[in-house]
Amino acid sequence: MRSSAGSRTTHVSTAAGSCERRAYIPATIGDPTPFVIGADGELLRLAPGGFSQATEEGNTLLAQRVRALASAEPAVELYAGAGNLTVLLARDREVIAVESNKEACVAARANLAARSLTAKVVEADAATFVLPKPTRLLVLDPPREGARTVCEAIAAGAKGKSKLRSIVYVSCDPPTLARDVRTLTAGGFTLDSAETFEMFPHTSHVETVVVLSRRE
């Protein structure tokens, strides 16, 4: 463990044989703040006791795929956590990241700042957060219980004047995902694709990413 005396720069050899300079944040003795390798290959700060995916390799595949599937326009991200997806989405679009845990919001802002990225991190309950009217892209990564209230509100809004056109939904629980997708399709959205990611070998648990779009 490094002391808090100062930061250092490490030279990392890449596959091409070149040397990459990467600055590491020094640890403070007794500091409980956890770090993992984010989907962009850089350190990702978590809230103390915060959630991370089972493997860094699996998380990279999942998060990079979410970014690829998300349409290239301003996005609202609900259940943003410490910014695991935010630090990818914010590279090429405006993002409003909504998270209810205060420490996770602090970590998300630090992760964005460490990458010289900007996004609006809002400390709020995703279930009651009102999507700005111009929102066209929504990214969801809820806990196991899913996003029932959010999806019911979206479905109701889709029948009115909502401008929301695309949803990328990340789920760790197929039954609650099926419930929420059924709500959204009943509200005017079409299920465009569904992809699974094996995060927990030899178990029945998978991560799933679905994309939905609103029928005109």
Neighbouring C-beta atoms of residue 4, cutoff 10 Å = 12
- Give the mean model confidence (pLDDT) for residues 191-207: 87
pTM confidence score:
0.82
- Per-residue pLDDT of 137-165, as tens digits, reads 999 999 999 999 999 999 998 665 678 99
Q: Which two tokens stand for residue 131?
A: 């999507």
pLDDT computed for residue 95 by the predictor: 97
pLDDT computed for residue 31 by the predictor: 63
pLDDT computed for residue 203 by the predictor: 77
Cα(43)–Cα(23) distance, rounded to whole angstroms? 10
Count the alpha carbons within 13 Å of 123 in the hemisphere toward its beta carbon: 9
- Per-residue pLDDT of 94-114, as tens digits, reads 999 999 999 999 999 999 999
Q: In what order do the strands lie in the sheet with 207-214?
A: 120-123, 95-99, 75-78, 137-140, 166-171, 207-214, 189-197
Q: 75: helix, coil or strand?
A: strand
With a pLDDT cut of 70, the percent of the chain lying above it is 80
**71, pLDDT greater than 80:** yes
**22, pLDDT greater than 80:** no
**pLDDT band at residue 198, thresholds of 50, 70 and 90?**
confident
Catalytic residues: 172
H-type alpha helices, 56-204:
56-69, 86-89, 102-114, 148-158, 174-186
**pLDDT band at residue 7, thresholds of 50, 70 and 90?**
very low
Cα–Cα distances (Å) from 10 to 14, 19, 73, 176, in that order, read 12, 10, 36, 44
pLDDT computed for residue 34 by the predictor: 82
CA 68 to chain centroid: 13
pLDDT computed for residue 58 by the predictor: 84
